[in-house]
Amino acid sequence: MIEHGFRDRRGRLVSLRVIGDDWRAVADVAPRDDQRRFVCALAARYLLLSERGGVWTSLAVYADDLVVGHVMWAVDDDGAHWIGGVMVDAAEQGAGVGRALTRTLLSWFATRPGPPTVRLSYHPDNHPAGRLYRALGFTPTGEIEDGEIVLERLA
């Protein structure tokens, strides 16, 4: 379990956990309908990408003892850490889960070996994601990957 004391706005402790028997709850995480052009329709696709792609590692996002989302992480060829597949269930959005999960990953990355660079990307039309990541200190690299804006910061 990855836990660094970050809470959502409801006061729930946000933690990231290796997916086990909770895989069905994670697979069923779904965004709001209007977000489906930015992220997959269900977290199940990200789970398959982690399982079959050999690059990403999926984690369940918990608020206290409830599965509320999904996130993936990876390490690039240059040693930088990546955050991907961020999805907070529609019913849990607006409570600060995305901010808390990102801060949790950043704190965890800071304890790991390698360069402190962390990267992520988001769809250019996903303005809430862009505001969140910039508020957390990410800056655009000028790169576009798979049609998404790439940002980075130090862990």
Which tens digits make up the pLDDT trace of 63-83? 999 999 999 999 998 889 999
Q: How far apart are CA 16 and CA 94, in angstroms?
A: 18
Q: How far apart are CA 149 and CA 1, in angstroms?
A: 30
Q: How far apart are CA 121 and CA 127, in angstroms?
A: 12
Q: Is the pLDDT of residue 136 over 80?
A: yes
User: Looking at per-residue confidence, does 113 or 13 come out higher?
Assistant: 13
User: Is this prediction's pTM over 0.95?
Assistant: no
Name the band, by pLDDT with cuts 50, 70 and 90, for residue 121: very high
Q: Note whether 109 and 155 are within 8 A (CB).
A: yes
14-154 CATH = 3.40.630.30
Name the band, by pLDDT with cuts 50, 70 and 90, for residue 21: very high
Q: Note whether 101 and 138 are within 8 A (CB).
A: no
